[in-house]
Chains A and B, each alone.
Chain A
Amino acid sequence: MSAPNTLTIAAARDALRKRDLTAVDLTQACLDAIDGAGALNAFVHPTPEIALDRARAADTRLAAGEAPAMCGIPLGIKDLFCTEGVPSQAASHILNGFRPEYESTVSARLRNAGAVMLGKLNMDEFAMGSSNETSTYGDVVNPWKVDDRRLTPGGSSGGSAAAVAADLCLGATGTDTGGSIRQPAAFTGTVGVKPTYGRCSRWGIIAFASSLDQAGPMTRTVRDAAIMLEAMCGHDPKDSTSADLPVPDFEAALGAGVKGQKIGIPREYRMDGMPDEIEKLWSEGAEMLRDAGAEIVDISLPHTKYALPAYYVIAPAEASSNLARYDGVRYGHRAKLAQGDGITEMYEKTRAEGFGPEVQRRVMIGTYVLSAGFYDAYYNRARKVRTLIKRDFEAVFDQGIDAILTPATPSAAFGLGELVDADPVQMYLNDVFTVTVNLAGLPGIAVPAGLDRQGLPLGLQLIGRPWDEAGLLNTAQVLEAAAGFVSKPAKWW
């Protein structure tokens, strides 16, 4: 058998159930891999004691039989999820020292299913970023490398993507507000699912933009994503936007094929200046689905161009409100005060010291677009555009389109530091293909589909109908099989 930490979730589950492998050995293999991967800076709070305790408990359950699919599977948890007694600081200095007294619903579901938490994963501060360079813990480095440059794993779930790609864990939780699961998945040759808004409970996940945030799985295969997603989702009375709908058996829905399915190719996603390699990959992806029996249909999503500016009004507006709670009173960092400083100085100094530059920028943009006199011109207009973007999708689904195929990102992974001095808007363009999906509340998945000429992974995105994660995963697996992506990063760390 190959090294246990390199197994897929599906293979590990089968080996654990047959008792060919123990959860303790599997967990130890991951802990050793994490120990040797400091250069990637993916795991920022490893929890080996918790991991081994849970692995022992999983072995007991497995020995008794009837253990759930995720029982004994070692996972990384993004630092955005509150985990009881374990640092949870959204990669921000302002939550330094915060150890929640409670567990997020998603991580609790995984824990209850017997999954093993290996530790907390690095990310962009408050999930605001596309390169994992805004973290208080420092940059995450992509395990993929083609020359001397250190590449970004993408963001904001960059630690999750790097850890899964480097075989430090079998799967990881991510969150996606504008592309934060799908873009890093594409940059690291892994699979990432952003479920329909409401599928996963947001309770206990540190909020960025509440109307857009969704948790999802990051894994090495589509099958693994199906297995892990099923354990993560379900109704939660503690999140009023959580959907009270039955959770299908996503894994059982795989293998149905795409014969007779209609796959839409939106013409507005053909952007000026798109690298020809991305364009080529996209047509090849369509060809693969056609060969598998799907019908490829040209479609139009006319408001696509306005998704990114609408997002960069709505998300900062919600963030400025959500992040108001970081005031130095209840948790985390409080600035040292000077003689005579009052409560306002405490707030202002605490927030200036605690938030990094990108978070400060977004909080201030949000404050501005919500302020008297600008609320209608920016915030309300953006929410109206959001309605139009959602209608675009409804119209194509009404025409009988089952899923939409697009590129996942406008480029392969870029070098760390390459965009640091650029206009912030340059960084925002990373989300151009993914952000529409959050605005419309739809499920989306990034699937690795090939390598560019430098040898870096490229991903394609499939977008599904609301609540049709099962159909989406099935189509994604057809694409995965046809693309036959098996490359792994060569170990240099």
Chain B
Amino acid sequence: MSRIDTDTARKVAKLARIAVPEDHLPTLAGELTRILGFMEQLNEVDVEGVEPMTSVTPMRLKRRDDTVTEGRMPDRILKNAPDAREGFFAVPKVVE
């Protein structure tokens, strides 16, 4: 059975971009271990030769023309931004 240790929990939190305080990592590791333990039941199933499902309905996705149908509304697009300046989304400095 997979055991999530605190190092793995720290790594998963980092990949998920969620800040988890160091003292909470052992609890998190325990919860993740229990949930993954529950999923281990899937190992009992013989899945030899079975295709992984990609679409639950046997329909082909519709194609459409690759054309611009809407646009030129930067104000509406930026309206909900926590920080928008001069027609752009603003973020902390990325490149030194």
Residues of A within 8 A of B (CB): 97-101, 196-198, 211, 237, 240-241, 243-244, 303, 305-306, 308-310, 312-313, 320, 324, 327-334, 337, 341-349, 351-352, 355, 360-361, 363-365, 367-369, 371, 378, 380-388, 390, 423-425, 428, 439-441, 466
Contacts and interface: CB of A to CB of B under 8 A. Distances in A.
Contacts of A211: 55-56
B92 A341 contact: yes
Output the residue of B18, B36, B82 with the most chain A CB within 10 A.
Answer: B18
A256 B43 CA distance: 45
Contacts, number: 169
B52 interface: yes
Contact of A382 (B31, B42, B54): B42
B45 A365 contact: no
A196 B57 contact: yes
A367 B12 contact: yes
A31 to B, nearest CB: 28
Contact of A98 (B47, B53, B80): B80
A352 B59 CA distance: 39
B50 A240 contact: no
B19 interface: yes
A97 B80 contact: yes
B42 A367 contact: no
Given A211-B55, A387-B51, 16 more contacts: A198-B57, A198-B59, A241-B57, A243-B59, A313-B42, A324-B17, A329-B81, A330-B81, A334-B82, A334-B83, A341-B92, A351-B16, A371-B15, A380-B52, A383-B54, A428-B38
Given A330-B89, A424-B31, A237 B64 contact: yes
B13 A384 contact: no
A388 B93 contact: no
Output the residue of A309, A320, A328, A367 with the most chain B CB within 10 A.
Answer: A309
A60 to B, nearest CB: 29
B42 A333 contact: no
A348 B14 CA distance: 8
A441 B18 contact: no
B17 A344 contact: yes
24 contacts: A97-B80, A211-B55, A308-B38, A329-B82, A330-B89, A332-B82, A343-B91, A343-B92, A343-B93, A345-B92, A348-B17, A352-B19, A352-B20, A360-B16, A364-B13, A367-B12, A368-B12, A380-B52, A383-B53, A385-B47, A387-B52, A388-B50, A424-B34, A441-B56
A352 B92 contact: no
Interface string B77-96: 10111110000010111100
Contacts of B79: 99, 101
A381 B76 contact: no
Nearest to B17: A347
Contacts of B50: 384, 387-388
Nearest to A96: B82
Nearest to A244: B62
B16 A388 contact: no
B39 interface: yes
A369 B28 CA distance: 16
Output the residue of B51, B54, B57, B61 with the most chain A CB within 10 A.
Answer: B57
B59 A386 contact: no
A345 B79 CA distance: 24
Contacts of A440: 56
A424 B61 CA distance: 36
Nearest to B41: A309
Contacts of B42: 306, 309-310, 313, 378, 381-382, 385
Contacts of B81: 329-331
Nearest to A439: B56
Contacts of A240: 61-62
A243 B40 CA distance: 35
Nearest to B50: A384
A337 B92 contact: yes
A347 B92 CA distance: 10
Interface in B22-41: 28, 31-32, 34-36, 38-41
A466 B28 CA distance: 40
Nearest to A328: B82
Given A329-B91, A371-B12, A384 B39 contact: no
Contacts of B20: 352, 360
Nearest to B80: A331
B52 A332 contact: no
Given A306-B42, A365-B35, A368-B12, A342 B94 contact: yes
Contacts of B61: 240-241
Contacts of A306: 41-42, 44-45
